[in-house]
């Protein structure tokens, strides 16, 4: 099946209120264009250099999300054009994004990434770390970032109950943050969770945005 057919099939399984991010890391621009021509506009990449190269080659109305760990020294490469940074995993990184956004006179949409998996390698805040940041005076100085939601990755495991519980954890984190820090911020409304192997569970647990790579592009 080609990527257009994959997209059509996947879209029948996703409710209208859930956004699809096509995760195009390592995939050729031809495949991305093919999805673009089918109407897909949201794409996710996890490396800043690859992301920048693809941005330069592809139509300007395509919206790029950074979804991978971002080093502070790479922030300035993507701030001129990035649509949303989903993988904000430290206060230091958020401050750097704000600084570079200010230079380009932009306000950059961000999600806070939370660590919900039982795996060593995954990045993200824990709840206390995030609330300390949100309650700090320094945070109130950040005028060029806008926090619009949370992102998380479940453990890569066959134990679907564990996966479901991790998604529940992220949804609860979102609800607590919404109530305690963002009740007056309607833009704080997204829960980005769910990948190829677990997106249906994620939707069931309240995901508003799924990030699909291999299911959409295949494994070539
Ligand atoms: C690669 C990646 C995805 C997509 O993974 P698939 O299993 O290929 O759907 C989603 N989110 C993040 C953060 C990723 O790095």
- 76-134 pLDDT, tens digit each: 999 999 999 999 999 999 999 999 999 999 999 999 999 999 877 678 999 999 999 99
Q: Specify the residue with its C-alpha closest to ligand 1, atom 11.
A: 211
Measured at the alpha carbon of residue 154, what is the angle toward residues 149 and 160, in degrees to the nearest 5? 130
Q: Is the pLDDT of residue 220 over 70?
A: no
- Which ligand 1 atom is nearest residue 86's CA? 13
18-30: average pLDDT: 97
Mean pLDDT across the chain = 96
The structural domain count of the chain equals 1
Measured in Å, residue 141 CA sits from the centre of ligand 1 at 33
103 CA distance to ligand 1 middle (Å): 30
pLDDT per position as a tens digit, 35-74:
999 999 999 999 999 999 999 999 999 999 999 999 999 9
- CA 214–ligand 1 middle distance (angstroms): 8
For residue range 154-187, what is the model confidence (pLDDT) as tens digits? 999 999 999 999 999 999 999 999 999 999 999 9
Q: Does position 22 have pLDDT exceeding 60, yes or no?
A: yes
The yes-or-no verdict on residue 218 having pLDDT over 80 is: yes
CA distance 55 to 73: 19
C-beta 68 within 6 A of ligand 1: yes
* Host domain of residue 176: 3-217
Residues in the chain: 220
**The pLDDT of residue 1:** 65
Determine if ligand 1 sits within 6 Å of the CB of residue 151. no
For residue 31, give the CATH number of its domain: 3.20.20.10
Ligand 1: does its nearest atom lie under 6 Å from the Cβ of 162? no
**In the chain, pLDDT over 90 holds for what percent of residues?**
95
**Res. 9 pLDDT band, cuts 50 70 90:** very high
Exposed/middle/buried for residue 135 (C-beta within 10 Å: 0-12, 13-18, 19+): exposed
CB 35 within 8 A of CB 63: no
Q: Is 66 in the pocket of ligand 1 (CB under 6 A)?
A: no
Please give the pLDDT value at position 219. Answer: 75
Centroid of ligand 1 to alpha carbon of 212 (angstroms): 6
């Amino acid at each position: 099946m080609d990527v257009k057919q994959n997209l059509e099939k996947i879209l029948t399984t996703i409710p209208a209120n859930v956004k699809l991010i096509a995760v195009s890391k390592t995939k050729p621009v031809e495949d991305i264009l093919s999805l673009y021509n089918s109407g897909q506009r949201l794409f996710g990449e996890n490396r800043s250099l690859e992301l920048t190269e693809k941005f330069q080659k592809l139509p300007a109305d395509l919206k790029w999300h950074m979804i991978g760990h971002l080093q502070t020294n790479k922030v300035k490469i993507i701030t001129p054009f990035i649509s949303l940074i989903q993988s904000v995993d430290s206060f230091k990184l958020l401050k750097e994004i704000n600084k570079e956004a200010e230079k380009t006179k932009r306000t950059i949409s961000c999600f806070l990434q939370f660590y919900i998996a039982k795996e060593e390698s995954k990045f993200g805040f824990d709840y206390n770390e995030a609330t300390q940041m949100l309650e700090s005076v320094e945070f109130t100085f950040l005028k060029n970032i806008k926090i619009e939601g949370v992102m998380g990755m479940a453990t890569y495991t066959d134990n679907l109950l564990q996966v479901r519980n991790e998604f529940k954890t992220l949804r609860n984190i979102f609800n607590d943050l919404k109530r305690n820090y963002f009740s007056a911020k309607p833009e704080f409304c997204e829960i980005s969770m769910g990948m190829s192997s677990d997106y249906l569970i994620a939707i069931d647990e309240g995901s508003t945005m799924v990030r699909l790579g291999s299911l959409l592009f295949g494994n070539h």
